[in-house]
Amino acid sequence: MSGPWRARPYAFPALIGLGILNHTVLTGSRVTVSLYALSLGSSAFIVGILMGLYAFLPMLLAVTAGRLTDRIGVQKPMLVGSCGVAIAAALPYFVSGLAPLFATTCLLGVSFMLFQLATQNATGLVGHPSERAKHFAMLALGYSVSGFCGPLISGLMIDNASFRGTFALLALLPLIPVAVLARNYLELPGPRPVEHGSPSGGIAELFRNPHLRRVFIVNGLLSVAWDLHSFFIPIYGATIGLSASRIGVILAAFAAATFVVRLFMGPIARRFAEFEVLAAALFVAAIAYALFPFVRELGPLIALSFALGLALGSAQPMVMSLLHSIAPAGRMGEAVGVRMSIINASTFAMPLLFGAVGSTLGLAPVFWSIGAALAGGGFFARRR
C-alpha cells in the first residue's frame, strides 16, 4: 500500500488502545524485573544487564523488522509481537528466581519492538501527510497513559500482592491485542512497494542523508535519557529506602508529564521549529539528571521526574514526524528500523556501562555523565 491508510473511523483509536495494553506490560515489567532482581540480592550491574537485554535483540533485528513491515504489511508483525509480549510476561510466573528474568527481558524487548515498529509504520500512513505530527502526538499520548499506568500498577501490586501476581497480571493484558489482531478487525495496511526511481543503497545510503543522520543522533540521545530514567530510578529509590509504591509514583509522574506536554504539541509545533524543540528537550533533561543526586525526598524527586517527562515527552512526536517526512519512498519501515537499532544499541550498552560504574563509584557520576552528554547533544541540535 503506497498511499494513505484509509482506516475505518474506529481503527486508529483502537490501534492506540492496543499499543497502550502492550506498552503497559513493557513499562510495568521494567519496574517489576528491577525490584524483583534487587530483592533476590542482585547488584546494580546485574540489573543493568537485565535492562540492557530489553534492547539487545531489537538492536540487532530492528532494521530487518522494518524491511519486513514494508514488504508484508503491519498486521502479522503486530500479532506476533503481541503473542511474544504475553509469553515473556508469563515466564516469571511459572518459573521463579533470577534465571527466567533474562529470558523475559530478551523476549519482551524484541516482541514489543516488532509491535511498536509496525504500529509506527501504520501511524505514518493515517490520513494526509500534513496531519502526521498530530497522529504521532496522539499515539504518543496513548503511550503516556501506559507509561503512567505500568509502573504505578506494578508498584502497587508488588507491595500489596507479590512479584508473581504482578507478572500474572501483566501477562493477561496482551491477550486483548492478540484477539483483535488475529481476527484482523482493524484492516491494517498491507505491503508498501518501493516507488520507481527511489534510492536503494541500504543503510549506508540512509546515513548519507544529513537530515536523517541528524535526526538519528538527536533521537538516540533522547532515548538514552528516557530509558536510563526507568533503569536508575528503581535502583536509586531502593538505595535511599523508598518503597515500591513510591518508586512507582515517581515513574508515573514522568509518564504524566509526557501526557500533559503532548496535549499541547499542536501549538508547540506551530510556534517552534522541530530542532528548537529537540534542543530545548536535551538541555532540560541535562539539568534534571545533574540535580538527581542532590535529591532524596519524594516530593522533589517527583518534581524532577515530571520536568524530565515534559522535556522528553515533547521530543518523540517531532522526531517521528521528521523521520517519516524525510525517509525515502517505500522505505519508511526501514528508516524507522534504523532509528530503533540506534536507540537500542545505546539502551543496551548504557545500562551495562552505567550499571558497572554505579556499582563501583556510586550513582552520582552516572547521573552527571548522562547530563553532560545530553547538554552536548543540545548544542549539536541547535547547529544550523
Count helices and strands in the chain by DSSP H and E runs: 16, 0
Per the domain annotation, does 153 fall within a domain? yes
Give me 375's grid cell: 547538554
373: domain range? 11-191+203-382
Distances (CA, A) of 9 to 12, 20, 141: 7, 19, 18
Q: Rounded to whole angstroms, how far apart are CA atoms 75 and 72? A: 9
Residue 256 identity (one-letter amino acid): A
Among residues 82, 73, 76, the alpha carbon closest in space to that of 121 is found at 73
Q: What total number of domains does the chain contain?
A: 1
* CB-facing half-sphere around the CA of 326: CA atoms within 13 A: 21
The pLDDT assigned to 2 comes to 43
pLDDT digits (tens, 9 = 90+) for 262-304: 888 878 877 887 788 889 999 999 999 999 889 888 999 999 9
Assess if residue 1 is contained within a domain: no
Residue 164 CA to residue 160 CA, distance in Å, equals: 12
Per the domain annotation, does 196 fall within a domain? no
Name every residue whose Cβ is closer than 8 Å to that of residue 201 and which is 6 or more positions away in sequence. Answer: 208
Confirm whether 141 is domain-assigned. yes
pTM attached to this predicted model = 0.75
Which tens digit of pLDDT belongs to each residue from 48-105? 889 888 988 888 888 888 888 878 888 899 999 999 999 999 999 999 999 999 999 9
Residue 339 falls inside a structural domain: yes
Beta bridge partners of 126: 5
Cell triple for residue 349?
A: 550498552
Q: What is the chain's mean pLDDT, rounded?
A: 84
Query: Which CATH number is 43's domain given?
Result: 1.20.1250.20
In the chain, pLDDT over 70 holds for what percent of residues? 90
Q: Please report whether residue 197 resides in a domain.
A: no
Q: How open is the CA angle 308-309-311, to the nearest 5 degrees?
A: 65
The answer to the question of residue 198 being in a domain is no
In a domain, 4, yes or no: no
